[in-house]
Structure 1
Amino acid sequence: MKKTYIIGCLFFLLTSAYGQGYQLSKETPFQPGEKIELKASVGFIRAAEATFSVSDVIYTINNKPTWKIDINAKTVGVFDFFSSVRDNWGTYYDTTQLVPQQFYRYIKEGRFRKNEILYFDHKNDKVTVAKLHKETRRLEKTFEHNIPHNVQDMVSGYYYLRAIDFSKIKEGEVITINTFFDDKEKPFKVKFVGREVIDTKYGNIKAIVLVPMMKKDSLFVEDNTLKVWLSDDLNKIPLKFQAKIYVGYLSVELLNIENLKHPLAIVE
């Protein structure tokens, strides 16, 4: 199994459900200082941990106020011994337009390294991709690409998703999204399949259930095998992921939350 699958899968599935042009909630779903921690397991074996954090500081990028949002992930236990991962994915996310102004990822997976920064120009629908040296992170080369209007990146997309008003989304509706990743546009589709109440360490919480439209591959044994549960409230934080993979069942669960802006939809 490739080193990127457990952590990369987590990122991709969290951030793949974003769209453009959907009706948004009137209130912002998160605030500076928010922190969400997740744990991933394969079967009964703890595999990885990930932290989603919003900086306390508002940064100015392209003359726009932005949140700095980071995802940091690492393997643990046996998975760390055989396939160590230390990844950082981040975005400077425009506080007014809800689009990324800059995206970066610093990947360290075993001997594999990949470092890059994306500079978005939404006015001209272009992005400049800066490829950095795998060790020193010095600039090596740049490429310019055309992008769809208001495209999202791998991190900003999940935070855009959280802003969507799901009371306006019908059960069974497929959300089609525009993404830019790995030097190209990657359209993605995710289906809203309904609502459930699930058990978490914080109690029983109402949840939105999503199924990304994904074909089976070297990780997933079936088409559309992944299910994602987000809290059915203004926060829409990740509560649980579950998928059948070739080495067993991948499960991602909420470990800890800090500084949420809105109350969780806990069932008393």
Structure 2
Amino acid sequence: MFKVSLFSMMFFLGAIVPVEEVSHVAVSDSQFSQCAPLNRPFKHGEELTYKLSYSLGIMNLNAGEVVFRLEDKGDTYKLTARGKTYKGYEWFFKVRDYYETEVDKETLQPIHAIRDIKEGDYAMYEETSFENGRVKVQRGTNASDLGDVEVIDVKKCVSDVLSLLYVLRTANTGTLKKGSELPMSLFIDKEEFNLKMTYKGNNKNKKIPGLGRFKTMVFEPEVVKGTVFKGEKGMKVWVSDDANKIPMMIKSPVSVGSVKATLKSYKNLRY
């Protein structure tokens, strides 16, 4: 069922996807760089709210929502994401998740990240510091119960789950061809993963319930092995085909049924 972190949908995590429908075309450095993002399609005060739902056959259940916020702190951005299940769903499974990442304003590289996870009977609090190719991680059940510091060597240009969402929005999508791949390095759960997003083409009339129809770009992400997603394929991401590059909808089959994140509302867009 839908006993899965709300953020699994939003951060494209699951099993690595080999794309067979089109030939692979790697993007050039001028189109996308995780080390030196090209632009900033967001600004102080941006807020994106997503509704998350679970479907099985004819049943469709609105399970919860996630709110993403960006604050300009001068030399850094503060990125936050707060997820919760709706009260009508909590008889089955209650979620209260909070993610926070401070990133360098020039590079969008993470400096410090917090994950505060409360899902059913499970609780985990994690603090991660990024220091030029070295990551320091502390984890416990809450902020006052952190364990020893673990030091892990990583690439100099690596993102956590929250900063990666914003880095991907900086890609120069105007020159993408079908099959183009956006490479990315992700650090999560004390491991580094090298993944990619594959451009699948456009949907010029994508319906987003409650908001209307939009021109969108369609991507198929690779996702991290060992989570709840079904098989190796199926996850799709629809991104607004404009200067803001906002994820409009994410949909994926899971082991039983499918899950979907749909943009519900937005505030303070840059464009």
TM-score (norm 1): 0.84
Q: AA paired with 2:97?
A: D
Q: AA paired with 2:265?
A: N
Equivalence map 1:188-199=2 (5 Å): 188-197=195-204, 198-199=206-207
Q: AA paired with 1:171?
A: K
| 1:164 is aligned to 2:171 | yes
Equivalent residues of 1:216, 1:224 under 8 A apart: no
Partner of 1:255 in structure 2?
A: 264
CA distance in 2, matches of 1:136, 1:58: 23
Label 1:26 to 1:100 Cα distance change in 2 as closer, same or farther (>3 A): closer
SS at match of 2:261: strand
SS at match of 1:81: coil
Gaps of 5+ in 2: 17-26
CA distance in 2, matches of 1:186, 1:128: 17
Output one character per residue of 1:221-259: Cα deviation in whole Å (capped at 9) or x when no partner. Answer: 332111100111121111111122233232221111000
Offset at 1:214?
A: 4.5
CA distance in 2, matches of 1:143, 1:188: 24
Equivalent residues of 2:125, 2:143 under 8 A apart: no
Offset at 1:220?
A: 3.0
Q: AA paired with 2:12?
A: L
Equivalent residues of 1:34, 1:259 under 8 A apart: yes
Offset at 1:81?
A: 1.7
Q: AA paired with 1:35?
A: E
Q: AA paired with 1:242?
A: K
Label 1:41 to 1:107 Cα distance change in 2 as closer, same or farther (>3 A): same
| 1:8 is aligned to 2:7 | yes
Partner of 1:266 in structure 2?
A: none
Equivalent residues of 1:20, 1:150 under 8 A apart: no
Equivalence map 1:106-125=2 (5 Å): 106-122=116-132, 125=133
Partner of 1:62 in structure 2?
A: none
Offset at 1:116?
A: 1.0
CA distance in 1, matches of 2:153, 2:225: 29
Equivalence map 1:1-268=2 (5 Å): 1=1, 3=3, 5-13=4-12, 21=29, 23=31, 27-43=39-55, 44-55=60-71, 57-58=72-73, 65-122=75-132, 125-131=133-139, 133-197=140-204, 198-200=206-208, 201-214=210-223, 219-262=228-271
SS at match of 1:140: coil
Offset at 1:20?
A: 11
CA distance in 1, matches of 2:145, 2:5: 28
Gaps of 5+ in 1: 60-64, 263-268
Offset at 1:204?
A: 1.8
Percent identity reads: 28
Q: AA paired with 1:68?
A: K
Give the length in aligned residue pairs: 250
Offset at 1:106?
A: 0.5
Partner of 1:265 in structure 2?
A: none
Label 1:92 to 1:160 Cα distance change in 2 as closer, same or farther (>3 A): same
Equivalent residues of 1:20, 1:177 under 8 A apart: no
Equivalent residues of 1:38, 1:256 under 8 A apart: yes
CA distance in 2, matches of 1:178, 1:75: 29
Equivalent residues of 1:230, 1:238 under 8 A apart: yes
TM-score (norm 2): 0.84
Equivalent residues of 2:101, 2:162 under 8 A apart: yes
SS at match of 1:46: strand
CA distance in 2, matches of 1:252, 1:76: 14
SS at match of 2:166: helix
CA-atom RMSD, angstroms?
Answer: 2.6
